[in-house]
Amino acid sequence: MAIAGWTRLVGSSTRIVGLDVARGLAVIGMFAAHVLILDPFDWSTPGTWGAIVNGRSSVLFATLAGVSIAIISGRAEPFDGVQLVRARVRILVRAVIIFVLGGLLVATNVNIYVILEYYAVYFVLALPFLRWRPRSLLVLAGGLAIVAPIVHVVGAAAFASSGLAYSMIVQLVLTGEYPAIIWMVFVLTGLAIGRLDLSRTGVRVRLVVGGAIASVVGYGAGAVAIAVFGPSDVFTTDPHSGSPFEVVGAVGCAVAIIGLCLLVARSLRFVVFPLAAVGSMALTAYTGQILAIVLVWHGGQDYWIAGYDNAPIFLALAIGALVGCTLWALFLGRGPLERVLGWASTSAARAVPEPAPKLDPTPKN
């Protein structure tokens, strides 16, 4: 049974292990961002480098959501016709389930920002773009990276004055922690990545190089702008700030990490198996982390104290996820929540009928 689980995860011709590794990194990174008290990130101070998880882990998670949407809808060759309809149904059903799950987790009053409701909205908003080619998707994402931060600031101010800033739809799209108006940049970029032939080494290398360049340009230009014009919300590169510089820098970092994981996983599958196991059941691991914080650490209300050492909490969550997901993958296969998503979305898609055969109008003798 363990051999079967190993084969399913790292030996399957339909599964891209590097993407699972990247998802695993994103999930573990979010664990760190949720519980560790970290000083602001500074390249010149190695003691602050752990803060790289802040914001960037969730951006990686959202970018990988776009990759997953591409895989569901045909990978390098987007589906058409009834296959496209079924893919849209699968994506929509997954969005509904994830949204409900996110709402339930928020209802626990856990002291972290839950991304799942936003994540579901990204799935729905991506539906019109399933047939777009990678170049078009990247152009749209680039334009959105410039325009969306402006719309975000102006729109948030307008809704604040109208008293609607805290309505659910406005929060999900505009004013919340992961507003779709900005975070669709990451999803569209991931959708473009998923349309590439990720089995090719050249593509993987270009992701690393291109992502690294975008990250340096985004964060570097922001730093230069601050040095010249002084601190400003427009020029900041702080996590979750939503400035054009932060968006470009963060998405570049995510793309580079995805490319690097794809390269590393090819030759080090045994070494990265635990991370791949977490990534293969990312929804289960993410949900399990929140439930653990709620049940064991009182929803996180007790450990956000200056000087408190949260490292043992992070280690418990990370090791628990790595060990638990590895054992589950080896002996039981797909994660429990992933099974629910797969069964529900596939069952709904099967309900879409095949097109009726066209009748030959030529009269028969």
Rounded CA-CA distance 270/265 in Å is 9
Rounded CA-CA distance 50/40 in Å is 9
| pLDDT value at residue 41 | 80
Tell me the Cα Rg of the chain.
Answer: 21
Tell the burial category of 352 from Cβ atoms under 10 Å away from its Cβ (0-12, 13-18, 19+): middle
97-119 residue pLDDT tens: 999 999 999 999 999 999 999 99
Tokens (6 digits) for 337: 């929540």
Tokens (6 digits) for 316: 């418990």
Phi, psi of 109 (to 5 degrees): 65, 30
DSSP assignment of 18-78 equals HHHHHHHHHHHHHHHHHH---PPP-TT-GGGGGGGGTTHHHHHHHHHHHHHHHHHTTTTS-
296-316 residue pLDDT tens: 988 877 776 665 678 899 999
Nearest in space to 17 (alpha carbons), one of 191, 204, 205, 272: 272
What mean pLDDT comes out for the span 49-53?
A: 84
Q: Are the C-beta atoms of 34 and 112 separated by less than 8 Å?
A: yes
Average pLDDT for the chain? 91
With H, G, I as helix, E, B as strand and everything else as coil, classify residue 91: helix
Give the burial string for 328-342 (b: 16+ CB within 10 Å, else e).
bbbeebbbebeebbe
What mean pLDDT comes out for the span 30-44?
A: 85
For 14-18, 126-130, 338-342, which range has the lowest pLDDT when averaged over its residues?
A: 14-18
225-258 residue pLDDT tens: 999 988 888 889 999 999 999 999 999 999 999 9
DSSP assignment of 180-248 equals HHHHHHHHHHHHHHHTS-TTSHHHHHHHHHHHHHHHHHHHHHHHHHHHHH-S-TTT---TT---HHHHH
Rounded CA-CA distance 61/286 in Å is 11
Phi, psi of 99 (to 5 degrees): -65, -45
Query: Which are the contacts of 232, defined by CB distance < 8 A and separation ≥ 6?
Result: 225, 226
127-136 residue pLDDT tens: 999 999 999 9
Phi, psi of 349 (to 5 degrees): -65, -35
pLDDT at 4 over 60: no
59-74 residue pLDDT tens: 999 999 999 999 999 9
203-214 residue pLDDT tens: 999 999 999 999
Rounded CA-CA distance 73/127 in Å is 10
With the CA atoms of 153, 157, 158 and 159 taken in that order, what torsion angle do they form, in degrees rounded to the nearest 10?
A: 100
What mean pLDDT comes out for the span 137-143?
A: 97
| pLDDT value at residue 310 | 85
CA separation, residue 59 to residues 76, 217, 361, 362 (Å): 23, 17, 54, 57
| pLDDT value at residue 38 | 80
Measured at the CA of 23, the angle between CA 201 and CA 194, to 5 degrees, comes to: 50
Confidence band of 3 (pLDDT split at 50, 70, 90) = low
| pLDDT value at residue 163 | 72
